[in-house]
Amino acid sequence: MKIKECIVVEGRDDTVAIKRAVDAETIETIGSSVPKHVIEQIKLADERRGIIVLTDPDYPGERIRRIVTEAVPSAKHAFIPKHLAISANKKSVGVEHASPEVIREALQNVRGGSVLDDYDPVLLEDIHAVGLMAGSEARNRRELIGNELRIGYANGKQFLKRMHKFRISKSEFYDAVKKVGLK
C-alpha cells in the first residue's frame, strides 16, 4: 500500500512501524513541542502532497495533533485506538506498538480533507442523550464511539469539537452508537 501524503509521526520508532506497514514518507515531530522548523516542513509537505497526522493515542500525541492542526488546518487525520497501540509489557502506548495491519487500517480510514454538502452536525444534546458527557461510564462510551468513528478518544467538549472538525454527521454518529451497542 503506497501513501501519497507525508505522514506526521512523533519519532523514529513510529517511522519504522509505518514503513513496515506501508510505502510512505514520514515527518517526525521530535517530541511534543514540535519545533518551528518541523512545522515549516509539515506546511511545505502539505502544500506539495498533503499530510496525514498519525500520533500516539495519549495526551502528548493529542497535543502534537492540536499543534499541527493549528498550523495546517487542512491536515488529514488517522487514529489508532489505544487498546491496539499498547506495548507487549503493557507499560507504554504508541504507534510503534501497533501491528502493520492496524496501521494500514488507520490509514485507510483517514478523516478530514473533504466537505459534505448534506452535513447535519451532531449537537451537544445528541451527545448528552447517549451519555457521553456525564456519568461514570461517559469516558468509556466516548472511547467506544471514538474508536468506531475512527476519531480517537477525547473529553466531552473536545469530542464534540472533533466530530465537527471531521464533519461527522448526526446519522453517522447514531449509526456508530447503535453499532457499539449503546442506547
Q: What is the pLDDT of residue 100?
A: 97
Q: What is the pLDDT of residue 16?
A: 97
Q: What is the pLDDT of residue 117?
A: 44
Question: Could you report the average pLDDT of every consecutive run of 10 residues in the chain (183 residues)?
Answer: 94 96 94 90 92 95 93 93 92 95 94 60 92 92 91 89 84 93 79
Contact at 8 Å (CB) between 52 and 76? yes
Neighbours of 64 (CB within 10 A): 22
Q: What is the pLDDT of residue 126?
A: 94
Q: Where along the chain do the CATH 3.40.1360.10 domains lie?
A: 6-108
Q: What is the pLDDT of residue 42?
A: 95
The verdict on domain 6-108 having CATH code 3.40.1360.10 is yes
Cell numbers at residue 144, please?
467506544
Distance CA 121, CA 170 (A): 5
Distance CA 100, CA 177 (A): 27
Distance CA 151, CA 68 (A): 16
Q: Is 0.85 surpassed by the pTM of this model? A: no
Q: What is the pLDDT of residue 113?
A: 58
Listed in order, strand segments (DSSP E) in 40-113 are 51-53, 76-77
- Partnered with residue 169 across adjacent β-strands are 121
